[in-house]
Structure 1
Amino acid sequence: MTVSRLQNIPGIGVDRVGDAADSMQDADILRLENLDTDLRPPAEALARTRDAIGDDAANSYLPFLGQWPLRQAAALRVGRAAGVDYDAASECVISAGGLAGILNVLLSILEPGDEVVLTDPTYAGLINRVHLAGGVPKFVRLEPGADGWRLDMESLAATIGPQTKAFLIASSSMPSGFVASKDEWRAIAELCDRAGAWLVYDAAMERIVFDGREIVHPAGLPGMRERTITVGSVSKEYRMIGWRVGWIVGPASIMNDVRLVSLSNVVCQVGIAMPGATAAITATDDGVAAAVAEWESRRDFLMAELADLPVVRPHGGWSLLVDTRSLGIEPADASRLLLAHGKIAATPMTNWGPTADRYLRLVFSNEPVSRMRDVRERIRASWRL
């Protein structure tokens, strides 16, 4: 019998599509189903990680809250992005990846039944973590348009109620590629203040934005430093998925509780990974700008190739969404047909939000344009368009 905390957690779907693609053992399959990237991590991070393997100090549970140079680097990085100061000793905890950090934060701030506002669509793993922490997800609709996604302000206002405890917002957001504008962040901040709620900011893709868009860190808005808890990681921007290193930066008023949850949950981080993470954050050239330029070019290629399909333009991130239901094809069927007939692995967005189940996600971070040249022909053959 399934325990109650798992009853609303069906999974994320990516694993099933990935397993099916792996079982085919075919190098011609375009891997557009999972948030991987073929772009290399910073050279300084690789070198420092190799050194750490032989460093006895890195082979330890201690320090439980993360190695001090990394805590300093992470607090400084978030502070610079927001334009505010953070104390590394009392306002930063290192986590075993960004999602572990988000779960630790949710466990620190939620009582059973508290409501958490998320965007729709959003990553199913965020929704699942709200459930695991005893929270109740409430969704604000992202409205697709000719130029991409925008926050539906009426939907946003309608999510607020007496049980609203937190907003859990990512920008750039996955899977949509939504990037919150300053006006949208201001609207969220105003409602946070009105509800007396926390803003849990998933900053994993903060700098992965396209078209010269402005990056706005919500902790820098008036009154938001004391309401915002920022969770970041080296996984996306720094292309260091396997390191499993993240950080939680927020006001001292909540960080002692986050520290207690962190000690009670994963206990510590990956010791040999933290020196490399520190090197990435402090590198003279972290490679983020070059990586973003490459991902943007891949987005542009797919947008051009799929111009005759109902694709919503992402403003950042690693993926885009295709409304296959408007073509008369359910996303699960579209995914199955693509893999069987087009050798494309892609994930249906079932359980990624109330309106997300009409979309199929295509990840453009892991395949170069040279391998995607015939993507439109593969799709046409699979869906008989």
Structure 2
Amino acid sequence: MPRHRPARLAHIAGIGVDRMGAIADDADGPPFLRLENLDVDIPPDAEAIARTVRAASEDSDNSYLPFVGQSRLREVAARHVSELSGVAYDGARQCVISAGGLSGILNALLATVEVGDEVLVTDPTYAGLLNRIRLAGGTPKYVPFRFTPGGEWKLDREALATAVGPRVRVMLLMSPSMPTGGYFDADDWRAIAALCVQHDLTLILDTAMERLLYDGRQVIHPAGLPGMAERTITVGSSAKELRMIGWRVGWTVAPESYMPDLVAVSLANVVVPVGIAQDAVATALAQSAHTLAPYVSELERRRDTVLEELKGLPVGVPAGGWSLLLRTSDFGIDGQTLSERLLTHRVCATAMKGWGETHGAQYLRFVFSNEPVERLRGLGDKVRAALGA
């Protein structure tokens, strides 16, 4: 007999990354070009690794406590968000630590979204974020990025204003966005903030990549805009900016009015990350203002290499982040078809079915964080061969 499936799982979609990663991991022969998942081959700061090793033998780190996260990490995370936003946050009262950034996103959604509420997101948005909206009982409401082949992704501000209806309670946004690398400029954030204030919306800000910006762009943190300090929940992560993916540590910094619910959900969910990871993340985050630039420069070199390899093809130029998209429908195929063809060329990349309404299955995502420039060269020939172009 078929098993009863909870209704909350009806629209939970696979993200495809796990399947593509398994193909590359298990294959015989020459190694695949790993462009399918958000890993990075650049190691974390040496001080963070040393602190992790030391923590593995210290009794104070072999603990659940404090349930809201270690004090130093909360202080460092709150100070980090304060410096970027211009809003004064207190680590003891306005920060809770989560088991990774996505765990923090789910906690924030569970603390703010009623069943049936709409959550405004960009189109496309990473499927893992969409799935968490649905797990929380919400429904994604899409606002499309405008795609121009060979150009940057741009927010459609008119569509944004139109999308805010009576069921929208929360915006879940990130800049640069994942998977496009789309960036909200100052005018975009002013438009977003005005709508949040006008309609009394909560902004859940995913800052996993907010400092991974190219071409001299500056971080704009919207909590500092008029009316936004009291309605912005900032969720950060050690994975992308600090290159500490396996540590699985995130932080949520928010106005005090949200904190009781955020803490209650956190305690009912995963509680906190492993103790041996937290102070290492605090160490890396505290020094990241001085250590981040060379890493971002290397990512920019990789982005530029992929763009040069795919020159003339319908790709979107990412303003930041780890990935870019190729529109495969221009060649009469979907992203999944191109993904399968590229496997024969030893290239592993993830299709995007279910990642959006306007922009989804007709794209293929290439992640450039896990391969050096030398290995990225030659990608264009393989893609063109797979396209038959």
Shorter-normalised TM range: over 0.9
Structure-to-structure mapping, 1:134-153, within 5 angstroms: 134-145=137-148, 146-153=150-157
- Letter matched to residue 297 of structure 2: A
Determine helix, strand or coil for the equivalent of 1:84: coil
Which position in structure 2 is the counterpart of 1:61? 64
Q: Distance in 1 between matches of 2:169 and 2:144?
A: 18
Aligned length: 384
Alignment equivalent of 1:253, drawn from 251, 257, 262? 257
Which position in structure 1 is the counterpart of 2:306? 302
- Letter matched to residue 349 of structure 1: M
Q: Distance in 1 between matches of 2:24 and 2:266?
A: 35
- Letter matched to residue 89 of structure 1: A
Determine helix, strand or coil for the equivalent of 1:347: strand
Structure-to-structure mapping, 1:1-385, within 5 angstroms: 1-145=4-148, 146-283=150-287, 287-339=291-343, 341-355=344-358, 356-385=360-389
CA shift for structure 1 position 241: 0.2
Give the gaps of 5 or more residues in structure 1: none
Determine helix, strand or coil for the equivalent of 2:299: helix
Instruction: Confirm or deny: 8 A CA contact 1:280 1:286 kept in the other structure.
Output: no
Determine helix, strand or coil for the equivalent of 2:140: strand
- Letter matched to residue 146 of structure 2: E
Instruction: Confirm or deny: 8 A CA contact 2:180 2:324 kept in the other structure.
Output: yes
User: Per-residue displacement from partner, 1:189-219 (whole Å, max 9, x unpaired)?
Assistant: 1111111110000000010000011210010
Q: Distance in 2 between matches of 1:306 and 1:147?
A: 13
Instruction: Confirm or deny: 8 A CA contact 2:242 2:288 kept in the other structure.
Output: no
Instruction: Confirm or deny: 8 A CA contact 2:13 2:127 kept in the other structure.
Output: no
- TM-score, scaled to structure 1: 0.98
Give the gaps of 5 or more residues in structure 2: none
Q: Distance in 1 between matches of 2:281 and 2:218?
A: 25
Percent identity of the aligned residues?
53
CA shift for structure 1 position 381: 2.4
Determine helix, strand or coil for the equivalent of 1:31: strand
User: Per-residue displacement from partner, 1:160-192 (whole Å, max 9, x unpaired)?
Assistant: 111111000011111000111111011111111
CA shift for structure 1 position 285: 6.5
User: Per-residue displacement from partner, 1:323-376 (whole Å, max 9, x unpaired)?
Assistant: 01111121110000001x211000011100112221100000000011122111
- Letter matched to residue 57 of structure 1: S
Q: Distance in 2 between matches of 1:108 and 1:115?
A: 14
CA shift for structure 1 position 300: 0.6
Instruction: Confirm or deny: 8 A CA contact 1:238 1:286 kept in the other structure.
Output: no
Q: Distance in 1 between matches of 2:227 and 2:315?
A: 37
